[in-house]
Amino acid sequence: MWRLDAWTVFAGILVLLLLVPIAVVLASFAVAKGEVWSHLATTVLPRYLVNTLWLMLGVGAGTAFGGIVTGWLVTMHDFPGRRLFEWALLLPMAMPAYVIGYTYTGLLDFAGSLQSTLRAWFGWGRSDYWFPEIRSLGGAIVMLVLVLYPYVYLLARSAFIDQSVCALEVSRTLGRTRWQSMMTVALPLARPALVAGVALALMEALGDFGTVQYFAVDTFTTGIYRTWLGLGEPAAAAQLAALLLLFVFGVVVMERSSRGQARFHHTSRYYRRLPSRPLTGLPAAIAVIICAQPIVFGFLIPAGALLIWAIEDGFRVLDAPFLRLAANSLGLAALAAAIVVGLAVALAYAMRLRGGPIASLALRIAGLGYAIPGPVIAVGVLLPFAWVDNQVDGLLRSAFGVSSGLLLSGTLVAVLFGYLVRFLALALNTVEASLGRVTPGMDGAARTLGATMTETLARVHVPLIGGGVLTAAILVFVDVLKELPATLIMRPFNFDTLAVRTYQLASDERLAEAALPALAIVAVGILPVIILSRAIARSRPGHA
């Protein structure tokens, strides 16, 4: 029977705190729309809307095609290099979108390496040849697809690995070809995973700031930043953020409603090794080319260019300020990972103890943060924190004649709380999966030996789920290290990170100096790629 206890109260309070940014953003619609909003609505808002829709369409189609095709090839076929491609196709995930955007701009822009070399070889002038404009909406879409398709590949491969051979064999006995079996059986069964991957890619694209801003593409994200910091209008920025939030929720609701009453689980419990169709000759060459392209263009070329620029610059920026930036980034990411994972463990344990309606609702609501773009969370955090700061400052001034300053909105407290809202779901899913593998008998045995619920968690569960906790901490650590828009808006004065410094240097066209901090971010991002690849390979039922 469900009852109220300390763990349930903790879960409820945590969820209420996590809901504050969302509630603040949505409540901005109740604020009277001033002249700034009218100006935005008549001038730039239509452009924000059109560009955002085209961005979603392009990124959704590109990531779906790239992720599904590569996932199907490496899972269901055997060709030269398949083992390498299984994990290498995840490498672009380590490359932040804004980093790859800066890199390709430095290579392909009019003053970039490629066009400069062509003009030197053939003696061309500006009007003598045509070259696609990299700083455009199409260029931004390509950059985002290159780094976001691994979201779809990750879940597509996991879904294909998890499928029963029986369903595919029945399809073949009914006269279906391999292609028809894929289109009519494998893809429909994998639909929830595929849509989840595309949805993650779309949410990352909607929240991207560095790439679209550098490519001069006006979207809701760039509008929020300019309205908040450029025009000094937090209310109008919150209303733009609310529209972007409705965009995200609209995508999720449309997908859920389109499923209707359809179900996608297997009825068979018979699993054996997935058959891999051998490819030779031309089909094998085509498969290698398809799988190699996203790795080459999404990781090897930009990483190689960054390394060359860093060497040519003589690692000149490897000085005390750079080391301070690295310390800021690593310290902030480590602290955020510890807080987020610690609260994720506590929340997952509360759900395990009291799986009642409040705890279940708490778990669902806590997972909303990862679907919200960083700029929206930044606006939703800073507005209430600034209000609290003003109230405290007013009380201290009237009572003691002293000022408290910006205790919340002007310190790392706001940044860490924003990270908690943004990344709790990422840690929670990983921790909950690990905790679910611990048999309930362990709880009963510990309680019969006199251990309290807290002691059971600390002395029994945490050691057993140590691997899952470490994985969650690494994933949160790397995501915080790469996060740009939320950090850019919420960071305190005179506090920069590697991501912020990379953005600032690239915005000033100092790409060679931006190479080293960008390489540091990419190098750290490779670690979770290895972990994810190993986890996928071992995810099939029956795997030892």
Burial group, residue 12, by CB count within 10 angstroms (0-12, 13-18, 19+): middle
pLDDT at 339: 93
Three-class SS state of 278: strand
CA distances (Å), 289 to each of 149, 297, 333, in order?
Answer: 16, 12, 37
How many other CB atoms sit within 10 Å of the CB of residue 78?
16
Q: Say if residue 58's pLDDT is above 90.
A: yes
For the chain, the structural domain boundaries read 1-30+313-507, 32-307
- What is the pLDDT averaged over residues 278-284? 86
**What does residue 277 show for φ and ψ, rounded to 5 degrees?**
-80, 120
Three-class SS state of 433: helix
For residue 374, give every residue at least 6 positions away whose Cβ sits within 8 Å of its Cβ, in sequence order, or none.
207, 209, 418, 422, 483, 484, 485, 486, 487
Share of the chain above pLDDT 70, in %: 81
For residue 537, give every residue at least 6 positions away whose Cβ sits within 8 Å of its Cβ, in sequence order, or none.
86, 161
pLDDT at 182: 65
Amino acid at 162: D
Q: Say if residue 260's pLDDT is above 70.
A: no
Burial group, residue 118, by CB count within 10 angstroms (0-12, 13-18, 19+): middle
How many other CB atoms sit within 10 Å of the CB of residue 264?
12
pLDDT at 184: 63
Give the pair of three-digit tokens for residue 397.
């001034």
**What does residue 416 show for φ and ψ, rounded to 5 degrees?**
-65, -40
Q: Please give the CATH superfamily to which domain 1-30+313-507 belongs.
A: MetI-like (1.10.3720.10)
Q: Is the dihedral of CA 376, 63, 503, 506 positive or negative?
A: negative
CA proximity to 97, closest of 510, 494, 410, 482? 482
CA angle 414, 457, 436 (to 5 degrees): 90
pLDDT at 185: 66
User: For the ranges 162-166, 201-205, 214-218, which has the lowest average pLDDT?
Assistant: 162-166
Residue 99 to residue 133: CA distance in whole angstroms: 18
Q: Say if residue 17's pLDDT is above 80.
A: yes
Per the CB < 8 A criterion, the answer to whether 464 and 442 are in contact is yes
Q: Report helix angle 191-207 to 374-400, nearest 10.
A: 50
List pLDDT tens digits, range 500-516.
Answer: 888 888 888 787 788 88
CA proximity to 429, closest of 373, 377, 370, 479? 370
pLDDT at 322: 82
pLDDT at 164: 56
pLDDT at 348: 80
List pLDDT tens digits, range 355-407.
Answer: 656 556 666 666 667 767 788 888 888 888 988 888 888 888 888 878 877 78
- What is the pLDDT averaged over residues 486-505? 86
CA proximity to 413, closest of 393, 436, 386? 386
Q: What share of the chain is helix, strand, coil (3-state, %, to 5)?
A: 75, 0, 20
pLDDT at 139: 92
In the CATH hierarchy, which fold is given to the domain comprising 32-307?
MetI-like fold (1.10.3720)
pLDDT at 286: 92
Q: Say if residue 350's pLDDT is above 80.
A: no
Q: Say if residue 290's pLDDT is above 60.
A: yes
CB burial string 205-244: b at 16+ within 10 A, e below? bbbbbbbbbbbebbbbbbbbbbbbeeeebbbbbbbbbbbb
Three-class SS state of 200: helix
Residue 129 to residue 126: CA distance in whole angstroms: 7
pLDDT at 285: 92
pLDDT at 254: 64
pLDDT at 301: 92
Share of the chain above pLDDT 90, in %: 12
Under the banding of pLDDT at 50, 70 and 90, the label for residue 54 is very high
pLDDT at 505: 84
List pLDDT tens digits, range 70-86.
Answer: 988 888 888 898 888 98
List pLDDT tens digits, range 306-329.
Answer: 888 888 775 676 777 888 888 899
Residue 140 to residue 109: CA distance in whole angstroms: 13
Per the CB < 8 A criterion, the answer to whether 407 and 389 are in contact is yes
End-to-end CA distance of the chain: 37
CB burial string 363-397: b at 16+ within 10 A, e below? bebbbbbbbbbbbbbbbbbbbbbbeebeebbeeee
Three-class SS state of 11: helix
- What is the pLDDT averaged over residues 410-422? 90
CA angle 315, 321, 323 (to 5 degrees): 70
pLDDT at 23: 83
pLDDT at 108: 86
Summary mean pLDDT of the chain: 79
Under the banding of pLDDT at 50, 70 and 90, the label for residue 1 is very low
pLDDT at 544: 45
Q: Say if residue 303's pLDDT is above 60.
A: yes
Amino acid at 209: F
Per the CB < 8 A criterion, the answer to whether 257 and 151 are in contact is no
Q: Say if residue 472's pLDDT is above 90.
A: no
List pLDDT tens digits, range 457-466.
Answer: 777 777 777 7
Under the banding of pLDDT at 50, 70 and 90, the label for residue 109 is confident
Is there a common fold for 1-30+313-507 and 32-307?
A: yes
